[in-house]
Amino acid sequence: MKRLNIAFICIISLVLVSVAGAGTLDDVRARGYLKAGVNGDLFGFSKPDKNGEWKGLDVDAAKAVAAAVFGDATKVQFTTLTAVQRLPAVQSGEVDVLCRNTTVTLSRETKNALNFVHPNYYDGQGFLVSKKLGVKSAKDLDGATVCVLPGTTTEMNVADYFRGQGMDWKPVVIEKTAELAKAFFAGRCDVLTSDASQLAGARAIAQTPTDYEILPEIISKEPLAPVVKHGDDQWYDIVNWTIMAMIQAEEFGITSQNVDKMLKSKKPDIKRFLGVTPGMGAQLGLDNKWAYNIVKQVGNYGESFDRTVGPNTPLRLQRGLNALWTEGGLMYASPIR
């Protein structure tokens, strides 16, 4: 009987070790879809359109991960998370990846046990005001009421800014992005502060966008990136190289429209990238067509930028820091080899 008990304990231990060792990739594949946390209220980044279809730069990042893992960009379940909810959702495994305009910080990577991958948008914090206020500079905001999201770097930055300028301010804190914007447009505060891209998104859906302007001061660096939790290097690699594959595809000149033609390229680096020469996908634990599937189904980084937040969208954002490094920007993918 004693020998039987020992054997039973060994079997249970092996099962527990196996379960504990199962990685996120295995979990995602077994489930059949990716769980992605998003803002849900942020026009241009993650918000359902009038037909209920999710659209935005962050949505494209999640779809690209699904395309890399499943060869099918539609296999994503989106979960709307507030700024306060987002990090615990990653830590608890409620979502596999957070694609929710979240700034990379030291504290989040260490104290919160998270890993940020390559940024998919470089931003900075600004101020949106009504033109009726007659303010032309953030330095004229002494005594202003300021609408701001709680639990964000935005909240800390604006406190530092007013303190540094020797100005008084009164925060109006509301947890949900859409409700915060409504409060601003309803006149509950003088100023809406957030990342400049969010301010552009809020202004784009205002009743009269031309009644509002973004002040010239940008008071912080806000590199925004998808997030995964600590402890799963393979999953980190997959999400990280997915974002870089979108950037690399743009640098190669590979688009969703010409990617099939590019399969016939004679260039060794493009053949490796698209899986014509096998090996890169296998090193990630994925199909060798992982990058091909991303570009074919989601597009390269420039395509995603242009259709979600670019100059021809209601947000009218220029590439700026988000241009490729070859064009003076910060978008730079490490070599895929």
Q: What is the pLDDT of residue 177?
A: 87
CB 79 within 8 A of CB 35: yes
pLDDT per residue over 217-269, tens digit each?
999 999 999 999 999 999 999 999 999 999 999 999 999 999 999 999 999 99
**What per-residue confidence (pLDDT) applies to 151?**
84
Q: Which tokens belong to 48?
A: 């359902």
Going from N- to C-terminal start, the domains of the chain cover 24-120+225-327, 124-221
pLDDT value at residue 261:
98
Give pLDDT tens digits for 87-132. Answer: 999 999 999 999 999 999 999 999 999 999 999 999 999 999 999 9
Q: Please, what is the Cα angle at 292 between 288 and 298, to 5 degrees?
A: 135
C-alpha to C-alpha distance for 257 and 272, rounded to whole angstroms: 19
Give the single-character DSSP code of 46: B
Q: Which residues are within 8 A (CB) of 337 and not within 5 positions of it... i.e. 6 or more apart?
A: 269, 272, 280
How is residue 334 annotated by DSSP? P
Q: Which of 271, 304, 335, 286 is nearest to 72 (CA)?
A: 286
Quote the tokens at residue 126: 């600004």
Provide the pairing of β-strand 121-123 with 222-224. antiparallel
Nearest to 71 by CA among 291, 299, 336: 291
Which CATH code, of 2.40.50.140, 3.20.20.140, 3.40.190.10, 3.40.50.620, is assigned to 24-120+225-327?
3.40.190.10
Averages of pLDDT over runs of 10 residues in the chain (337 residues) are: 45 42 90 97 93 97 98 98 95 97 95 97 97 95 96 92 96 91 96 94 91 95 96 98 98 98 98 97 98 98 97 94 98 96
Which residues make Cβ contacts (< 8 Å) with residue 89, sequence separation at least 6? 37, 79, 81, 95, 98
Handedness of CA 121, 160, 201, 183 (dihedral sign): positive
Sort 9 into a burial class: Cβ within 10 Å, 0-12 / 13-18 / 19+.
exposed
Check if CATH label 3.30.70.260 holds for domain 124-221. Answer: no
Whole-prediction pTM: 0.88
Other beta carbons less than 10 A from residue 304's beta carbon: 24
- How do strand 212-214 and strand 97-98 relate by DSSP bridges? unpaired
Round to whole Å and give the CA distance between 25 and 122.
28
24-120+225-327 and 124-221 agree in CATH topology: yes
Average pLDDT in the chain = 93
Q: Are strands 144-148 and 169-173 parallel, antiparallel or unpaired?
A: parallel
In DSSP notation, 157-168 reads HHHHHHHHHT--
C-alpha angle 22-25-31 in degrees, rounded to nearest 5: 90
Question: What is the amino acid identity at position 271?
Answer: K
Amino acid 203: pLDDT: 93
